Amino acid sequence: MILNNRRYFYSMKVPPFLKKGDTIGIVCPGGYMPKDKIAACVSTLKKWGYKVKIGKTVGGKSANYFSGTDEVRRDDLQSMLDNKDIKAILFGRGGYGTSRILDQINFKHFVANPKWLIGFSDITILHSFLQRNFKISSIHGPMCGAFHQDKGENMYTLSLKDVLEGKPTVFQADYHPLNNTGKVTAKITGGNLCLLVHGIGTNAEVDTKGKILFIEDVGEQLYNIDRMMLQLKRSGKFDQVKGLIVGGFTDCKDTERHFGKEAYEIIFDQIKEFDFPTCFGFPISHEKENIAICMGMKYSLKVTAFQTILASV
């Protein structure tokens, strides 16, 4: 892991936006993904005018949950990071496993020639790592599996195309009764709640000071959502936040004795003492509704009594 030359990292560095003919690499640094599951994504990327290079971990040999051993996954990602012909890396899926190889990656060539890293869920740990150590922007957004729906031609996957090409973006969400109205412009950070908590106390700890924070999750026990929100709160992550975006919390589990509240109510209870603009039900999630966000870049968040608008600045 390379963490030197910090003098270059005082301001956010933005990788070059893509143009037709550029190459996008696809790898799986965590869970296993069959090669046929990326077919729709590859087809769409080529339709958009990009070339595609598929890594060894996509449909690779694996006898367990992961897309390969830690060493295989590390080397596949390292190869994509070091390849100057690849202008962006789109992760096939999340799951779990990126943090197992993170400290074995050499970022020297990547820092000298940044490229877009794209994904969500388990990839949250990588986004936080890049922002904290190198101040390099990345993209929290749809991965390969999202392209199975509507052949990659819905507003959520198309938002990724817009972000990759450097186009301004504006996203909206309906009013939610738990919202706290207000307007703020600040850099944005966040991701999967579980991974944000996972990073606390490590070299991938999320920095929320003066930022708009967004969170989302899937398949969590309700009591665990409460515990993770409490951990963020107790570690001071809400103390200097400028705004909060609560995305999808889907497929949540409950214990035999009901926890007593649903996911959004649990989250609200942990942040109700703060007065920053807050919106619930924003289209950042593990479902189809998952927009692309440029991590570490400035956005305008406006929460009104009628709707929420998030726009790149």
Q: For residues 46 and 80, what is the distance between their CA atoms, to the nearest angstrom?
A: 18
pLDDT of the chain, 313 residues: tens digit per residue: 333 333 334 588 999 999 999 999 999 999 999 999 999 999 999 999 999 999 999 997 777 899 999 999 999 999 999 999 999 999 999 999 999 999 999 999 999 999 999 999 999 999 999 999 999 999 999 999 999 877 778 999 999 999 999 999 999 999 999 999 999 999 999 999 999 999 999 999 999 999 999 999 999 999 999 999 999 999 999 999 999 999 999 999 999 999 999 999 999 999 999 999 999 999 999 999 999 999 999 999 999 999 999 999 9
pLDDT of residue 267: 98
Q: Domain boundary at 122, 140, 164, which?
A: 164
Do the domain assignments include residue 115? Answer: yes
Pair of tokens at residue 240: 């200097």
- Contact 38/45 with Cβ under 8 angstroms? no
- Strand pairing class (307-312; 170-174): antiparallel
Domain span at residue 174? 170-312
Do the domain assignments include residue 1? Answer: no
Pair of tokens at residue 81: 């990071």
Whether 187 and 159 map to the same domain: the answer is: no
Q: What is the CATH number of the domain that holds 160?
A: 3.40.50.10740
pLDDT of residue 60: 78
pLDDT of residue 2: 36
Whether 295 and 191 map to the same domain: the answer is: yes
Q: For residues 252 and 246, what is the distance between their CA atoms, to the nearest angstrom?
A: 15
- Strand pairing class (293-294; 182-192): unpaired
CA pseudo-torsion sign 270, 239, 140, 2:
negative
Q: Which residues of 233-247 are buried (b: 16+ CB within 10 A; e: fewer)?
A: eeeebbeebbbbbbb
Do the domain assignments include residue 220? Answer: yes
CA pseudo-torsion sign 184, 189, 194, 196:
negative
Whether 101 and 194 map to the same domain: the answer is: no
pLDDT of residue 9: 40
Whether 37 and 145 map to the same domain: the answer is: yes
Whole-angstrom CA distances from 41 to 37, 86, 91, 143, 285 are: 8, 17, 11, 8, 19
pLDDT of residue 186: 98
Q: What is the CATH number of the domain that holds 254?
A: 3.50.30.60
Q: Domain boundary at 164, 179, 206, which?
A: 164
pLDDT of residue 11: 81
| pTM, to two decimals | 0.94
Q: Domain boundary at 164, 191, 219, which?
A: 164
Q: Could you write out the DSSP letters of every residue in 133-187? A: HH-B--EE---GGGGGGGGG-SHHHHHHHHHHTT---EEEEE--TT-B-EEEEEE
Closest CA relative to residue 185, chosen from 277, 97, 273 = 277
Do the domain assignments include residue 20? Answer: yes
Whether 33 and 145 map to the same domain: the answer is: yes
Whether 12 and 146 map to the same domain: the answer is: yes
Whether 24 and 155 map to the same domain: the answer is: yes
